[in-house]
């Protein structure tokens, strides 16, 4: 595992604002924050841009960023500590188990920010607005609780609209293109890491806000939803199956440098298992297969950069 990740994993253990798979916390969050303010969640928070941004906009509410990736949570948690934000916490768990960590009606709002759209038909149950998840959210949301989805994926946006309609949810706001909207709410101006990547290349950010009905339709409706979904997505599923990579995996595989060039991560190159000889920026094999004199040039460049960084 990359050194940076290991350092973050060790450090996050000591952060007072991060709880990793805690036990018996359902119903106790107001004690944790030492106030009776409303609790708002950001699911799939990654580096927690919404958790931090909303905490500044609404200092009289408590915000909890939820994600399974500790090295990403570290980024938001570190900033919250540096900014001395007392209304922010991070919870490292699987969202699939969210109902074990909050009591009935303990949560007033849920933000879902740029989650993986899970484009393959076989993965549709992993979409965080799938009824399977809505049933979990219903267990922890207050009666008038709201769900907010912000996504750049037209597929996830349309899927969620279909769910809202079929499951008789109450739609409050539907914005097809946040960026071109006039007088947008300050909460929608917060941008996230994945938002800036524009992975879907749709150049649009969609936003939906809705509440759940008192009783959500059951399994029969799920069957109908899946039949519709399959029908609508049969053609594109072939493409998605070929790639097999979720946008979440992608971040661990590569990133873009300042010139917009794609750079493979050390983790990816280690997994590949050999030096390809192209002189990759993060080559973990000391450029073994790069011909001379290029190899020596690259090694010297790397040594100089290391020395400069350690000064």
Ligand X SMILES: C[S@@+](CC[C@H](N)C(=O)[O-])C[C@H]1O[C@@H](n2cnc3c(N)ncnc32)[C@H](O)[C@@H]1O
Nearer to ligand X, 195 or 237 (CB): 195
Nearer to ligand X, 249 or 286 (CB): 249
Residues near ligand X (CB under 6 A) are 44-46, 67-69, 72, 94-96, 113-116, 192-195, 247-248
In sequence order, the 6+-apart residues with CB closer than 8 A to the CB of 49 are 76, 113, 190, 191, 192, 193
Active site residue 258: no
Q: Is 204 in contact with 152 (CB distance < 8 Å)?
A: yes
CB of 167 to ligand X, least distance (A): 20
Q: Which of 160, 157, 106, 156 is nearest to 131 (CA)?
A: 160
Residues in the chain, overall count: 311
Q: Which residue is nearest to ligand X (CB)?
A: 46
Cis peptide preceding 293, ω within 30 of 0: yes
Catalytic pick from 60, 67, 96, 116? Answer: 116
CB of 295 to ligand X, least distance (A): 36
Strands 254-256 and 262-264: antiparallel
Measured on CA atoms in the order 251, 256, 257, 263, is the torsion positive or negative? positive
CB of 185 to ligand X, least distance (A): 18
CA–CA separation, 138 and 146 (whole Å): 10
CB of 191 to ligand X, least distance (A): 9
CB of 195 to ligand X, least distance (A): 6
Strands 39-43 and 170-175: unpaired
Nearer to ligand X, 70 or 145 (CB): 70
CA–CA separation, 238 and 255 (whole Å): 26
Nearer to ligand X, 146 or 247 (CB): 247
Nearer to ligand X, 165 or 249 (CB): 249
Q: Is 192 in contact with 149 (CB distance < 8 Å)?
A: no
CA distances from residue 122 to 53, 208, 214, 284, 287 in whole angstroms, order as listed: 34, 24, 29, 35, 40
CB of 273 to ligand X, least distance (A): 25
Nearer to ligand X, 125 or 288 (CB): 125
Catalytic residues: 116
């Amino acid at each position: 595992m990359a050194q940076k990740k290991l350092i973050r994993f060790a450090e996050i253990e000591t952060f007072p604002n991060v709880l990793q798979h805690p036990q018996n916390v359902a119903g106790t969050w107001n004690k944790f924050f030492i106030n009776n303010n409303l609790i708002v969640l950001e699911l799939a928070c990654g580096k927690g841009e919404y958790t931090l941004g909303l905490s500044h906009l609404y200092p009289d509410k408590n915000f909890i960023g939820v994600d399974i990736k500790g090295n990403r949570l570290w980024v938001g948690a570190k900033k919250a500590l540096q900014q001395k934000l007392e209304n922010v916490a991070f919870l490292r768990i699987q969202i699939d188990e969210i109902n074990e960590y909050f009591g009935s009606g303990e949560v007033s709002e849920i933000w879902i920010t740029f989650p993986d759209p899970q484009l393959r038909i076989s993965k549709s149950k992993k979409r965080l607005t799938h009824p399977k998840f809505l049933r979990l959210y219903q267990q922890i949301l207050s009666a008038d609780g709201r769900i907010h989805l912000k996504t750049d994926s037209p597929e996830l946006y349309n899927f969620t609209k279909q769910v809202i309609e079929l499951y008789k949810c109450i739609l409050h706001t539907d914005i097809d293109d946040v960026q071109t909207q006039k007088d947008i709410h300050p909460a929608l101006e917060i941008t996230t890491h994945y938002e800036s990547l524009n992975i879907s290349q749709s150049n649009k950010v969609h936003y939906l806000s809705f509440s759940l009905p008192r009783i959500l339709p059951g399994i029969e409706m799920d069957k109908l939803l899946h039949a519709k979904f399959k029908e609508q997505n049969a053609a594109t599923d072939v493409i998605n199956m070929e790639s097999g990579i979720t946008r979440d995996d992608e971040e661990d595989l590569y990133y873009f440098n300042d010139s917009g060039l794609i750079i493979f991560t050390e983790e990816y190159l280690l997994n590949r298992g050999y030096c390809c000889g192209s002189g990759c920026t993060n080559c973990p094999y000391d450029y073994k297969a790069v011909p001379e004199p290029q190899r020596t040039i690259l090694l010297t460049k790397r040594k100089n950069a290391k020395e400069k960084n350690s000064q």
